[in-house]
Amino acid sequence: MKSLEILVATDLSDLGNRAFAAAEQYRKINGGIITPVHALNEPVWPEGIRLPSVDDKMSSQLIRYASAKCAEAAGMYTDPEFLNKPWITYGDPARVIVEKSADHDLVVLSTHGRTGFKKFMLGSVANKVCLRSLKPVMVTSPNDKITSFSKILLSTDFSRESFKAFEQARYLLEHTDATFELVHIVSLEYAGKWADRQRMQRDAEEKLESITKEHFSEFEGRVEPVIVLSALSVHRALSKHIDDGDYDLVIISTAGKTGIDSVLMGSTTAHVIQVAQVPVLTIRP
């Protein structure tokens, strides 16, 4: 099996550089090479008209500086033997990252660089990358605990889209000793006062047990099906469950029953990334 090609995007801030720590944890699982990437902004007028590019000498200086800073940040976590030369270019950061990701197996970036969060949204760059990249995207944030992946939460809403995340789970099951919780949320938020909660839970348990056997039968004892019955909305119940657990990683699809629109990710995924204090691996179906 070829080594993983991992693309790590940074805005060169201390928070942005935390992505290298998460990337190294993933790289160590089965080997791999990390390529840092940074996009330099081109100056434009307020109207959006691009200004003449900086002269060649200054441009070369900026690229050398950014390359050195990327290599320095990556070198704090990964041996130079496993690092490619940083990829530095001009352009929109999200577009640069997505285009470059086509040559890689995994993208890692932080949600908290210079842009930060808007309420219930990811920072604009991370949001766009998660929506557009065809490759898995691991997202970190400042409060994440970044350790080896030994206890992992895998979320499903029973949709075919959510099953797309199972491939990454199987990879980690094959190459680590990690244990998994396969979690499904049964929300009572819209179920009504007289909902038969026991029946809802029983039906969900039977379905989740069937899914676990279908997709993870050869990993018996390492994937535990877990039903969470909650009066909260799905995204809040899942986030609370993550907070109450001691997970090292969360794996979740960017689309499920609610799907994706052209601007925002599904509310559950966006909310989990916003509040989870562990890295979140998102999979676009």
* CB contact at 8 A, 32 and 77: no
pTM: 0.87
Look up residue 2 and give its amino acid.
Answer: K
Residues 6 or more apart whose CB falls under 8 angstroms from that of 176 comprise 29, 149, 150
Closest to 149 measured CA to CA, from 223, 236, 249: 249
pLDDT at residue 43 in the model: 56
- Residue 53's pLDDT is 54
What CA–CA distance (Å, rounded) separates 7 from 106? 6
Predicted pLDDT of residue 42: 65
The CATH number given to 151-283 is 3.40.50.620
Tell me what pLDDT residue 257 has. Answer: 52
Task: Say how far apart CA 154 and CA 214 lie, in whole Å.
Answer: 15
Between CA 123 and CA 110 the distance in angstroms is 9
Residue ranges with strand state E in the chain: 4-9, 32-40, 87-90, 106-110, 137-140, 151-155, 179-187, 223-230, 249-253, 280-283
In the three-class reduction of DSSP (H, G, I as helix; E, B as strand; rest coil), residue 186 is classed as strand
- Among residues 22, 38, 101, 77, which one has the least CA distance to residue 280? 22
Tokens of 95: 């577009």
Task: List, in sequence order, the alpha helices (H) in 156-224.
Answer: 160-163, 166-175, 197-216
Question: Quick one: pLDDT at residue 149?
Answer: 96
pLDDT tens for each residue of 135-152: 999 999 888 889 999 999
Q: Give the CA-trace dihedral at 107, 121, 260, 269, to 10 degrees.
A: 70
CATH code for the domain defined by 4-140? 3.40.50.620
What is the residue-level pLDDT of the chain in tens, covering all 285 positions? 568 999 999 999 998 999 999 999 999 999 999 999 999 876 555 555 455 555 567 778 889 999 999 999 999 999 999 999 999 998 889 999 999 999 999 999 998 644 444 433 445 788 789 888 999 999 998 888 899 999 999 999 999 999 999 999 999 999 999 999 999 999 988 777 667 888 999 999 999 999 999 999 999 999 999 999 998 989 899 999 999 999 999 999 987 554 433 333 456 887 888 788 999 999 998
pLDDT of 24:
97
Q: Any idea which residue has 């080997």 for tokens?
A: 31
Q: Where in the chain is the domain with CATH 3.40.50.620?
A: 4-140, 151-283
